[in-house]
Every structure is written in structure tokens, then in C-alpha cells.
Amino acid sequence: MNRPEPPVRPAVRVTVGQLSVTDDRAANREAVQDAFAIAERARADLLVLPEYASSFDPHGVGEQHAEPLDGPFVQLVRACAARTGVAALAGTTLPGPGDGRAVNAVVGVDGTGALVGVYRKVHLYDAFGHRESDRLVPGPADAPPLVLEVAGLRFGVMTCYDLRFPEQARRLVDAGADVLVVPAAWADGELKALHWRTLAVARAIENTCAVVAVGQAGRGVVGRSLVVAPDGVVGLELDERPGVRTVDVDGAALAVVRERNPSLANRRYDVVPRGVERLADPDASR
């Protein structure tokens, strides 16, 4: 079926899918289809779904929740993207190396339904009484960043606990990201909602980029998805309940902020993953 051409606009339209996810995979896939339908009606360019959108247990996600890239969840995301023309970034769980652990991942799908990239979560949530590394294998820190170009803007991907590590956000910006996308299932607890919001705003300000932070809603997680402009102004913020909302991310405004606040140009340090040797002075080893 031929779709009408999208209207010309100066911004990229992003739909935030703050879904409530359980271990009922069929119900989760139905919620994803509904989110795509809303995004299509809103004429969105990109739909962002939370971490673990395929299956989730607040007590821990592991091998029993995993599906391969050619499994039902990713294939559904691809089919929905192809049908609607809406690109997607969606959290899922992939099979691990066979040691009883899985991989926390985000898949990137373009508006034709093509799988264009996979980000495997680098920083596992071994904090605040949780031990994600007991059930999951971290992605390689030196893997190429996942940066998805949509309608002229570049969206760099990190996941949940990664938000606490500013060097990962900076590495994505160095790879060309204009917008940081953070699918999450941010665990609830004392001050956790405060941390989530504060860190998302900080990542926007320090990198002069937009941030689209999409949390799960439901038991054990905070929800509270938000979209932050490059100057730190929060343009969209949800509460703890499930919800799907659409917002425009203005690339022209990003350029204005970066001209006024050239902190990226003024920086004096590079970000290099641990284990990757880099000599600042080429003569230093002589």
C-alpha cells in the first residue's frame, strides 16, 4: 500500500513508547504493535521502545527471556517498521555464549524494516543490590557505537545503567550522535527517579545534544520517560504509568545551542575504552 509522503518539517518526530512489559511475550508484542500504530498516526519518523521490551521480570532477566535476532520479537519490530515506515529502537534480550547467561541488547531498525544495528549493553547493573552480571554477559566496550540516522538526525544508543557513565555518552557524540537514546527499565527505589531525571538532563547539557530517555512502566521500575533539549530544558516528561507520546526533536535548535555553547570544541580529553591502548604522544614509546 502506498503511504502519503510525510509533511515537510524542520524536526524529526519521535514517538516515546513507555510500555508496561511482563513475561507474557505475546502480550508484549501486541503492545509493540499498538505503539507502532500510534506512531504511524502521529506521522512519527522513529519509535523508541524501552529496555527488555520483548520480555521482563523485575526480579531479573536472563537466558529464559532470550530470543534470537530472527525470533518473533525482532521480526515483529521489523515487520511493523516496514508496514508503517517508522524506524525503531527497541530493547530485547538475545541468547548468550551458552554459559547460562544472555545479552541485553537494543536493535535498530530503519523505516524499510531492515535491521541496521545491534547494541549490546556494556555496563551491567551491578549496583543498588542488583547483580545483572549473574544473568547477563556485557557487550564489548570497544564495539563500534550504534548510531542510527533518521530523517537527517543521528541517534546514538545506550541502555539504562549506561546513563550513569558520561564517557559512554561522549563516545556516542564523538561518533556523530545528535541525540542520545536511552531505552531503560530503571529500577525503582530511594532517589532513583531523581537520579534518572538528573542524569538525563546532565547528559544533554554536557554534550549539547538532545536526550530521549524511555523507561518501562510497571512493577519495580520508575517509568518517567523524558525528552531533553540540548540546553537541558525538558520538553516531554511522563509519569509512572504506561503511555505513548510523540515529540519533535529540532536539529536546527541543536545547532544553535552548539554554536552558543561550544563545549565539545573546547574539550581537552578524549574517551578511549579500557583495554584499548592509545598513545597521546607518538614518540612516547621511544
d(CA 263, CA 127): 31
Indicate which residue of 80, 121, 132, 209 is catalytic.
Answer: 121
Indicate which residue of 67, 80, 132, 160 is catalytic.
Answer: 160
Q: What are phi and psi of 132, to 5 degrees?
A: -65, -30
What is the tens place of the pLDDT at every residue in 172-193? 999 999 999 999 999 999 999 9
pLDDT for residue 275: 72
Is 51 a catalytic site residue?
A: yes
Q: Give the percent of the chain with pLDDT over 90.
A: 91
pLDDT for residue 279: 46
Indicate which residue of 51, 67, 80, 209 is catalytic.
Answer: 51
What is the tens place of the pLDDT at every residue in 28-77? 999 999 999 999 999 999 999 999 999 999 999 999 999 999 999 999 99
pLDDT for residue 94: 98
Average pLDDT over the chain, rounded to an integer: 93
Name residues whose C-beta falls within 8 Å of residue 260's C-beta, 6 or more positions apart in sequence.
none
At 285, the pLDDT band (50, 70, 90 cuts) reads very low
Say if residue 276's pLDDT is above 90: no
* pTM to 2 decimal places: 0.92
- In the predicted model, what is the mean pLDDT of residues 146-163? 97
Sheet with 115-120, side-by-side order of all strands: 115-120, 102-109, 87-95, 46-48, 11-18, 243-250
pLDDT for residue 4: 52
Say if residue 140's pLDDT is above 90: yes
Say if residue 278's pLDDT is above 60: no
d(CA 33, CA 36): 5
At 281, the pLDDT band (50, 70, 90 cuts) reads very low
Lowest mean per-residue pLDDT among 117-121, 235-239, 267-271: 267-271
d(CA 247, CA 45): 10
Is 209 a catalytic site residue?
A: no
Spans of all domains in the chain:
11-266
- In the predicted model, what is the mean pLDDT of residues 252-273? 93
What is the tens place of the pLDDT at every residue in 185-228? 999 999 999 999 999 999 999 999 999 999 999 999 999 999 99
Q: Which CATH number fits domain 11-266: 3.30.2320.20, 1.10.1030.10, 3.60.110.10, 3.20.20.70?
A: 3.60.110.10
pLDDT for residue 274: 83
pLDDT for residue 258: 94
Is 80 a catalytic site residue?
A: no
